Amino acid sequence: MAEALLVEAINRALAQALGDDEHVVVMGQDVGQLGGVFRATDGLQSRFGKQRVFDTPLAESAIVGTAFGMALSGLRPITEIQFMGFMYKCLDQLIAQAGQIRARTWGQTRARLVVRTAYGGGVRTPEHHSDSLEGLLMGSPGVKVVVPSTPIDAAGLLLAAVEESDPVVVMEPIRLYRAVREPLPERLSPVPLGRARVRRGGDDVTVVAWGAVVPSALQAAEEVAAEGIEVEVIDPRTLQPLDWDTLSESVEKTGRLVVAHEAPHTGGPGGEVVAGIVERCFYALRSPPRRVAGADVVYPPQLLEDAYLPDTARITAAIRAAMED
């Protein structure tokens, strides 16, 4: 099996989806001839033609709105929104229209629609290029949300999203596009949505992290292991729906919880994870759950983003604090 970067795994998954189903189309700004701003769609237009891989105007609402109409007509569009900070413009189409169509039609109509978007910071991008909006999307019924942290999961989650009957947002961590390599089989397999992955086993503290924060969580776990603290690191992979069984089983074992993510602290997805675990595992908790998150500010300028992002040091400090209570 040849090794591939995360962005290369996405490219291969897109090619496989296009090759397997003639109803699949890929659309977005610069996804055709250029191959995408991060080259995730590189070479796809030359392989599958301009009718199936094509560029759109710079209009996010129109991109998702058009894709919604295409989905209603039987196609399976995969759209690219270049950066998650640009998604504010298309949320009405995604949340109020595509996400609600099945409920509004009593199950008679579904929108098989995938929205791919690059998210997160750490690569010195300008304003509106580093947002993490998973908390907003998780609270939007009818929309599913996935976040890969490895190449095999990036490919598998995308393939599973294409098969879903409801809209799925695939959040792709910018920092990991070319930071992680992993062997990929020639034929890629879907990764079922709603199933978390235990990235590291441990008995003392459960750390839940996703996307680009997973490597920092794993590094923090290795650092405290030298102190005799064994951390279980769980990558949810799917944020909506969450795999509560895996999360609860881990916290029932460890009795301690740390949640780490790039989204802002207040109203962030970590609060939902903590609330859900308290409801399910209150009597198993040995210390208060802790959150390591972005600050409650607009994403800062490039020179300040290291202070904003959750890192290994902050996660390590939260783990130690959980053990001391």
Hey, which residues are catalytic here? 129
- Concatenated DSSP letters of 109-129: -----EEEEEE--SS---TTS
What phi and psi, each to the nearest 5 degrees, are found at residue 238?
-110, 125
Query: Residue 115 in contact with residue 82, Cβ under 8 Å?
Result: no
What is the C-alpha to C-alpha distance for residues 209 and 235, in angstroms, rounded to an integer? 5
How many angstroms separate the CA atoms of 128 and 117, rounded? 13
Question: What is the full DSSP assignment across 8-52?
Answer: HHHHHHHHHHHHH-TTEEEEETT-SSS--TTSTTTTHHHHH-TTT
Distance separating alpha carbons of residues 101 and 111, to the nearest angstrom? 7
Rounded distance, CA 14 to CA 37, Å? 15
Answer whether 235's CB lies under 8 Å from 197's CB.
yes
Cα 236 to Cα 230: distance, rounded to the nearest angstrom: 19
Burial category of 240 from C-beta neighbours within 10 Å (exposed 0-12, middle 13-18, buried 19 and up): buried
Among 194, 84, 209, 83, residue whose Cα is nearest residue 137: 84
Please give the Cα distance from 121 to 239 (Å, whole number). Answer: 19
Q: Which residue do the tokens 């030298």 mark?
A: 226
Both tokens of 93, joined, read 């189409």
| DSSP-H helix ranges across 122-199 | 134-138, 151-163
